[in-house]
Structure 1
Amino acid sequence: MPTSSRPAAFATAALTAGLALWTSGAPSVVYPVYGREWSLPPALTTVVFGTYPVTLLVVLGLFGGISDRIGRRAAIVLGLALMAVGTLAFALAPSIGVLLVGRALTGAGVGFALSPATAALAEYARPGRGHLAGAVATASTAAGLTVALLLGGLFLDLLPDPLHLSYWPLLGAVLVVLVLALRLPSGARSSGSAVRLLRVDPSMRGVVAQGALGVAAAYGTGGVVLALGADVAVGLLGTDSPIVIGLVLALSAVTIGVTALLARRVRAGAAAPAGALVMVAGLAALVTASAAGSLPVFLVSIVLTGVGYSLLFSAGVGIAAELAPAQHRASTVSAVYFAGYAVQAVAAIGLGQLATAHGLLPAIVAGAVVLSVLALVAGAAPFVRARRAVRTATGGNPA
């Protein structure tokens, strides 16, 4: 089979990143329907929801750098194959046991495919354009999430069996990209065990710290908007129509993607501080909308947090993918993603429990405070890193 050209390989990597978020978000819209149709208690649906991030984090922790050793193509193909089998399990699932298997397989698939796809964006970009990897990864994943939310809402309202039929378009898309991935360049390989606890090269610790802070702030806020924003939207709109709620939440994903494309040439050192300030403003607007019951302010908060997410995520992933040496690029990106997914899981599950126990507004306020602090730290990270670089270059004497 002939090898893809550089532009085709770049496009395949971008499609893989988009599919990762479509696969991740596809079941989210239909979780309430599982509970209603199969008479499942909330605790069981929570277990299914939590299986994905747990599996993903385990795979990132043990295999995050695997594509540095077996090549980008092999890791991406493995991840897409697992995503396909997991999606098929959802499409045919007769019981919650099969859902758990499907969710674990899709989590593992995303864990194997997302980091090498992001690393490949930096490697297959045109010479001198490696810094665009973060923006393209952001736009691609936002597009995948948009498709998941909109198709999920449409299928729930229009299809006779959304619990199964809604997964077939995703499965078809995964299989098409899997065929394309088989034509990717194999990529450089190195010796070593396939299973290796995720480690960061000492020279990359500052880069990973800066990237992880940005991605963690973005993913944490994204988890709050998706997990609690839907409840706020239901209360403000006076409807629980899946199409309407999907459109409202898709506004966030569309904003993320558009911002990534418009700000694609903005360097991480400028994007992170700007994203932090916009994120804080967006979280404040979310609290205000929830307390005052204002739909216009809520929509403003969706847009502002989307802009902040995009800038912080692009900066975090972009700096890791661009600056990491090729032999450590996937493990470096995986460490950044690991931090982001860990914070997202804690934010979504923890604040969900807080909302159940004490109400929606206290949970939103708590989340906004914690994530605002995290965003501001992420925004300050480029300045701290630059100052340390100056001290190192001058032997500890900035003068």
Structure 2
Amino acid sequence: MDRLVTKYRIWITAAVVAHTLWTSAAPAMVYPIYIDQWNLSYTQTMLVFGTYPIVVGVLLLLSNFALQRFSREQLVSIGLGASTLGVFLFAIGDSLAWLLVGRVFMGVGVGLSAGYSAAELIELSPNKQRAGTITIAAQSVGFSASFIAGGAFVEFTVQPAHYPFVFLFIVLLAVFALYILTTNSPPQYPQAKSGQDESNISKPLLPLLILTVTTAYMHGVTYTALGATVAKQLLASTNSLLNGFVLGFFAISIGAGAFFARKFDGFPAIRIGAVFSIFGMALLVAAANQQSIFLYGASSFSSGIGYALKFSGSISIINLKSTEKNNSKTINTILVFAYLFTGFASIAVGKISEDFDVSSAIYFITLSVSIMSLLVIYISFKRSISSTTNNPHGD
């Protein structure tokens, strides 16, 4: 691949990474419409949300087997095609069944492309230690587009349940075409396995990374699955565009946090991110109790910083501790757990909202994220002390 194609390939691969978060959050501003106009229950809407990460997790689990038959580039291309089809079904669908089938295709698409596109972006990045920053910035763009564009379409169009997905469908067609056109190097097939595992990710470290990324992804349940509903029902904010911008603080702060993360190594980044997450959850409870859209925006912003630091720090640790050939495998392993956990957690949140109320669901989420963040801080410090004791010279 020549230098010019490589330059554009970085941005196109970043767009593929962005699509994974945009697709995930695409219905975020439309969930209240499904409840109010389609008469779906909270559990049903959370099932729509939860189907996606569960399918993604299963596909990530199976993707290593798929890699034995297809190249990484082919899997990403198939994934983009599946995501595009899923978004199209949302654009034309008019019932829960259409939404569930569409979410399955979205999950298949992201499950096939998320880990490999992130790994490709790491390999294309000129600065390997800052690859996590590029990845998280791409995710920020995808998240921002889902909230702000979605809010605008819901507020100003006559078919708010469909137009956000028509727009995303057009965007994905363009990304799909550009990715195919710039894949002009020989496909990268997996090398034959050697007798020794090339990954340097230790057994105690992998659970910490899984917990860290899973905690970051739980913010997605908070603001993507319930965000618009919280703004409308608990905060009495009926302007979808305003709500989209407020929720967009989460996405924008992810991008800001990615650049902030450049000042820290992996372990300090995930600890500071955990602190921001806890603070964001405290602000969310305060916003719900005081019906303050300002506090809700502050909560969204703080949580986004926490997400960025935890995810970017985790990617940096992977990049330093794992070989390039094992980046995809390590990232996929972490994402399997993160997606499956958040999928089932979102369905539980929907059930709590239906059986009790939305406030109870918020308390459940904030408590869960806070406890998980405290565990991230404790385990990372414990591991640092253990590493220093076993290797006092820092070798």
Assess same fold via TM > 0.5. yes
Determine if the alignment matches structure 1 residue 25 to structure 2 residue 25: yes
Q: Which residue of 2 aligns with 1:347?
A: 345
Determine if the alignment matches structure 1 residue 189 to structure 2 residue 189: yes
Determine if the alignment matches structure 1 residue 251 to structure 2 residue 225: no
Q: Which deviations, in whole Å up to 9, do the C-alpha atoms of 1:106-161 show, x marking residues without a partner?
A: 110001111011111111111xx112222222111121111111111111222222
Q: Where do 5+ consecutive residues of structure 1 fail to align? A: 194-198
Give the TM-score, by structure 1 length.
0.86
| Distance change >3 Å, CA 259–CA 249, structure 1 → 2 | same
Determine if the alignment matches structure 1 residue 234 to structure 2 residue 232: yes
Give the whole-Å Cα distance in 2 for the aligned partners of 1:146 and 1:65. 33
| Distance change >3 Å, CA 201–CA 323, structure 1 → 2 | closer
SS of 2:237's equivalent in the other structure is: coil
Of 209, 212, 215 in structure 2, the residue corresponding to residue 214 of structure 1 is 212
Does the Cα contact within 8 Å between 1:57 and 1:111 map onto a contact in 2? yes
Give the whole-Å Cα distance in 1 for the aligned partners of 2:86 and 2:368. 34
Offset of residue 14 of structure 1: 1.0
Offset of residue 54 of structure 1: 2.0
| Distance change >3 Å, CA 87–CA 212, structure 1 → 2 | same
Q: Which residue of 2 aligns with 1:385?
A: 383
Q: Which residue of 1 aligns with 2:298?
A: 300
Q: Which residue of 1 aligns with 2:83?
A: 83
Give the whole-Å Cα distance in 1 for the aligned partners of 2:350 and 2:159. 28
Give the whole-Å Cα distance in 2 for the aligned partners of 1:298 and 1:264. 27
Offset of residue 80 of structure 1: 0.6
Q: Which deviations, in whole Å up to 9, do the C-alpha atoms of 1:190-211 show, x marking residues without a partner?
A: 2679xxxxx9968453443232
Which aligned pairs between 1:40-79 and structure 2 lie closer than 5 A? 40-63=40-63, 66-67=66-67, 70-79=70-79
Moved more, 139-148 or 89-98: 89-98
Q: Which residue of 2 aligns with 1:266?
A: 264
Corresponding letter in the other structure for 1:189: Y
| Distance change >3 Å, CA 87–CA 68, structure 1 → 2 | same
Determine if the alignment matches structure 1 residue 366 to structure 2 residue 364: yes
Give the TM-score, by structure 2 length.
0.87
Moved more, 88-97 or 280-289: 88-97
Offset of residue 321 of structure 1: 4.2
Give the whole-Å Cα distance in 1 for the aligned partners of 2:156 and 2:67. 41
Q: Which residue of 1 aligns with 2:277?
A: 279
Q: Which residue of 1 aligns with 2:159?
A: 161
Q: CA RMSD in A?
A: 3.0
Does the Cα contact within 8 Å between 1:119 and 1:321 map onto a contact in 2? no
Q: Where do 5+ consecutive residues of structure 2 fail to align? A: none
Offset of residue 235 of structure 1: 4.6
Does the Cα contact within 8 Å between 2:87 and 2:106 map onto a contact in 1? yes
Moved more, 218-227 or 30-39: 30-39
Give the whole-Å Cα distance in 1 for the aligned partners of 2:215 and 2:61. 20
Q: Which residue of 2 aligns with 1:288?
A: 286
Corresponding letter in the other structure for 2:285: V
Corresponding letter in the other structure for 1:363: A
Corresponding letter in the other structure for 1:135: T
